[in-house]
Amino acid sequence: MTRRTLALATISVLLALVFNVNLWAQSQPPSEPKTRNVVLIVADGLRWQEVFTGADPSLLNSEHGGIWANPENLKREFWRDDVNERRKALFPFLWNVVASQGQLFGNQLKGSVARVTNGKAFSYPGYNEMLTGFPDPKIDSNDYGPNPNVTVFEWLDKRPDLHGHVAVVGTWDVYKNIFNVNRSHLPVQVGWGLPYHGKLDSNQHLINELYLHTTRLDDEDVTDSLQQIPLLDFVRSNHPQVLFVGYGEADNWAHSGRYDLVLHSAHEIDHFIEQLWDTMQSIPSYRGQTTFIITADHGRGSGLVEWKDHGADQKGSENIWIAVIGPDTPPLGERANIDPVTQSQIAATLACFLGKDYRHDVPAAGPPIASVLPKVLPCNPSR
């Protein structure tokens, strides 16, 4: 046998092997989805600009960023010349873990747009849109009152297999209205309400004392750090399958014109999300079975002044970001040059991870984000 004949024979065998492997793969039943728990995490008012490009150099000063301490200290902490290193310094979990194992949407510099559709770009309309799947023009104030619309959390809690396993933990007292607690009867721990009741151990008593006696920046919004330990305790003891978590401090500091504290609170939010992820991965019923959807309720203005505010008058406030990590989400990382995604898609996406077709009952809701979901699910629009 000549060398040429041998080479051709080898190639033929290899092609046959590849063909047979492909046939075998196509004949195998698709793997079952692994997600049994979903956590929706919202960093209130955290801009896509910081998420994808890190600290804004035009705001690392006292004149435009309201920085009280030495700006050089802030630059040492969060400034890097390379944008990838800069955003990683601010959000290490998001860029070291989520970006490598999940997907991120919203970097408009790379042709990825994530936006709200409610036309208002402030909190209550944004939460209603993401939680119900559609904007409601009637909701035009954060003081609107109880939400007339049923959220996907309330809808899921009515499913027999999930009833009693859905919960809400958030820093903002208004979540009671957004989730319409009087109607939904969802368990909530929000605002400055004491997190522990009954017979308390020393740590629980201490945290309650801090809730009672901490000076408040905002009477409706507890600080993120005070919420974190009760949140982790709640997860360990109650094992919710569907959980909402809201952090509000970055938005409050932006409204106060303190860019240094926006950066510090954003960095801590990243740490708190990592803590929650690690805690849940250490619990057997969560490990390898939990998906996180991480987003913001609205964007903000840009430039030297409008970064402090948001709404229809602050151009760009409609732009948000969305990140997803979990056992069923293909690890495509930072998305680029794709069709826009919207806040209205979050509700159906969350439900679809649990095998529930939210749009069957709520056809006005936006469709699930197909690329983050396993294709075997009937609720995946790309199936």
26 shares a domain with 81: no
Q: In what helix (H) or strand (E) does residue 103 lie, and over which residues does it extend?
A: strand 103-105
* 87-139: pLDDT as tens digits: 999 999 999 999 999 999 999 999 999 999 999 999 999 999 999 999 999 99
Across residues 17-33, what is the average pLDDT? 53
331 shares a domain with 185: yes
271 shares a domain with 178: yes
337 shares a domain with 278: yes
List residues bridging with 39 in a β-sheet. 243, 292
Query: How much is the pTM?
Result: 0.92
Does 120 reside within a domain?
Answer: yes
* 189-238: pLDDT as tens digits: 999 999 999 999 999 999 999 999 999 988 999 999 999 999 999 999 99
Q: How many residues does the chain have?
A: 383
112 shares a domain with 11: no
List residues bridging with 244 in a β-sheet. 40, 168
Instruction: Report the alpha-carbon distance of residue 108 to residue 106 in Å, rounded.
Output: 6
Does 381 reside within a domain?
Answer: no
Structural domain of residue 135, as residue ranges? Answer: 35-372
State the Cα torsion 214-220-223-229 to the nearest 10°. Answer: 90
pLDDT for position 1? 53
Does 383 reside within a domain?
Answer: no
Q: Exposed/middle/buried for 262, CB within 10 Å: 0-12, 13-18, 19+?
A: buried
pLDDT for position 20? 47
Closest CA to 54 of 24, 96, 22, 83: 83
Contacts of 87 (CB under 8 A, 6+ apart): 50, 51, 52, 53, 54, 94, 95
* 63-86: pLDDT as tens digits: 999 998 888 999 999 999 999 999
Structural domain count of the chain: 2
62 shares a domain with 86: yes
